[in-house]
Structure 1
Amino acid sequence: MIWLVTFLSCIGLLCAEEPFDHNVHNERVIGGHDAKPNTWKWQVSLQHGSSDEESFYHICGGSVIDSLYIMTAAHCILSMDAKQYRVVVGEYNLFEYDGSEQFIRVEKIVVHPGWNGDLANGNDIALLKLANPIYDNGYVAIAELPYREQMLPHGFNCTITGWGLMDYEGSIPTILQEAPLDVVEHSVCSQYDWWGSVALKTMVCAGGDGIISGCQGDSGGPLSCYTDRAWRVHGVVSYGPAGMCNQYKKPTVFTRVSSFLDWMYSVMDGPEEDDSGK
């Protein structure tokens, strides 16, 4: 569920499974390909439904950042009722049981207190506390994170992963997709013919070549970059352009993880808060 914006106006789609009309030049995560099994072990499928175990469906991605916590986008939270969500870790084929999955219910939702529903305002990040801890079955790993306020240089190559839409017909992939995206530094991404004032320093822009991009269903998922001798999650998929997902000079925009580490650690290590995180 990637929310789509045209400059300062949000034209978000509320349901990840609802297709929308856009044209693309390549397929999968728009321009991506099947990921190798057991590669992106911190990737999560966030699913929405009810108490009926059979009715859950994928709405967003996420990243494992602790045995009890998942990081995702705030705009992925359709309801503050934690009972309506579960996460699937160790997932690969979204529509088949691979034997590697762990299905875990969500106990608590903590949305960043600065999130007000306006993507241009940033703070599009949320943490989900799980009802039961994730265990190491060989198919799951806790994501490495960047250091505080780390910013990647222009052109730095990263990878987006997810089960987002692949084409203009709204096709959903069965296999986890991956695609390379180059970072677009803030001084470029904030230019008027790119994202302008919508691009904040607390965001990471990546892509914008008109070929490869994230798309609806990828929201909340990771932008993984190899820095400091490890793959680290530097971004959380936040938004992209209205219409075509892969527009020239309209890169996929991510919440910059390095800008929110203090808040994340305060949630995970601090005293219990109410579900709003405020």
Structure 2
Amino acid sequence: MLRILLLSVLVALALAEPRYLEEAPEERVVGGEVARPNSWPWQISLQYLSGGSYYHTCGGSLIRANWVMTAAHCVDTSRTWRVVLGDHNLNTNEGREQYMSVSAVYIHPNWNSNSVASGYDIALLRLSSSASLNSYVQLASLPPSGQVLPHNNPCYITGWGRTSTGGSLSAQLKQAYLPVVDYSNCSRSDWWGSTVKNTMVCAGGGSDSGCNGDSGGPLNCQVSGQYVVHGVTSFVSSLGCNTAKKPTVFTRVSAYTSWISGIIG
């Protein structure tokens, strides 16, 4: 499942190429710590059917009782998908999980799988039935259209992605503190340069980051005392998940408010 994006349009500065954060089963957030079970109740595990079993490939956020938001690159291959809600340890049935089949996949029409740097890495999944909302499964809050968070705004990435580049695996949901890196900094030539667009959010850039398996999951940002999903995990540097000056890059949810509303009503 390894998918490495080789951009032919990167500037001559030989910037690190973006790499999708979706790879093989059960890979984790770099750094950070194991999350308190069900403390991010909108976090979902997106899984695909292979050989009679389902395998985790990406994260996502429950935004309506029957709608999930994830990354376009997670679902631009035709597969049989399911969404698991209320999960914490992917290897254990804790009795809180809800398993939902996916009845329709809506990928942003401008998404180009050969050019993640163009943006539009967002997709919506319609579930076959509505989730039962409870203390373990809740809806994500989304930002108002156009809202851009300031530099160093506190955020957390959550997911079941790799714990280090090529590193060890853990079945439990992890979280890592990733403050926002504003566009003016993230687009500097010695950072991501022109690869990053203003329809994206950068966060982190230090020892903690997203990694393979985290794609599509939320960037949970503190705004006015609550957590709001401001980003959909999109890509990291091909030089390594937590490369200095190459913060994790997310699709900025507030840039796609009208598209989301047009699909889910």
Matched, 1:42 2:35: no
Corresponding residue of 2:159: 162
Q: Distance in 2 between matches of 1:228 and 1:18?
A: 33
What does residue range 1-278 of structure 1 map to in structure 2 within 5 Å?
8=10, 9=17, 12=20, 15-17=23-25, 29-50=29-50, 54-81=52-79, 84-117=80-113, 118-209=115-206, 211-269=207-265
Q: Kindly provide the amino acid, as one letter, of the partner of residue 253 in structure 1.
A: V
Aligned-pair CA distance for 1:37 = 1.2
Aligned-pair CA distance for 1:243 = 3.1
TM-score for both structures, normalised by structure 1: 0.86
Q: Structure 1 residues 110 and 181 mapped into 2: Cα distance closer, same or farther (>3 Å)?
A: same
- Do the aligned residues in 2 keep the contact of 1:3 with 1:10 (CA within 8 Å)? no
Matched residue SS, 1:264: helix
Q: Structure 1 residues 42 and 121 mapped into 2: Cα distance closer, same or farther (>3 Å)?
A: same
Matched residue SS, 2:213: coil
Aligned-pair CA distance for 1:5 = 5.7
Aligned-pair CA distance for 1:226 = 1.3
- Do the aligned residues in 1 keep the contact of 2:59 with 2:216 (CA within 8 Å)? yes
Q: Kindly provide the amino acid, as one letter, of the partner of residue 178 in structure 1.
A: Q
Q: Distance in 2 between matches of 1:241 and 1:60?
A: 18
Aligned-pair CA distance for 1:47 = 0.2
Q: Structure 1 residues 168 and 204 mapped into 2: Cα distance closer, same or farther (>3 Å)?
A: closer
TM-score for both structures, normalised by structure 2: 0.90
Identity of aligned residues (%): 48
Q: Kindly provide the amino acid, as one letter, of the partner of residue 116 in structure 2.
A: L
- Do the aligned residues in 1 keep the contact of 2:192 with 2:246 (CA within 8 Å)? yes
Aligned-pair CA distance for 1:39 = 0.5
Matched residue SS, 1:263: helix
Q: Distance in 1 between matches of 2:209 and 2:20?
A: 17
Q: Structure 1 residues 169 and 254 mapped into 2: Cα distance closer, same or farther (>3 Å)?
A: closer
Q: Distance in 2 between matches of 1:158 and 1:206?
A: 8
RMSD between aligned residues: 2.1
Q: Structure 1 residues 212 and 140 mapped into 2: Cα distance closer, same or farther (>3 Å)?
A: same
Corresponding residue of 2:14: none
Q: Distance in 2 between matches of 1:146 and 1:153?
A: 14
Matched residue SS, 2:82: strand
Matched residue SS, 1:231: strand
Q: Structure 1 residues 4 and 31 mapped into 2: Cα distance closer, same or farther (>3 Å)?
A: farther
Aligned-pair CA distance for 1:95 = 0.5
- Do the aligned residues in 2 keep the contact of 1:2 with 1:215 (CA within 8 Å)? no
Query: Paired residues, what number?
Result: 256
Give per-residue Cα distances to partners, 1:233-271, cap 9 Å, x unaligned.
Answer: 0000000001321000000000000000110010001xx
Give per-residue Cα distances to partners, 1:200-248, cap 9 Å, x unaligned.
Answer: 0000000112x11000000000000111332100000000001321000
Give per-residue Cα distances to partners, 1:62-97, cap 9 Å, x unaligned.
Answer: 00000110000000014235xx00000001001100
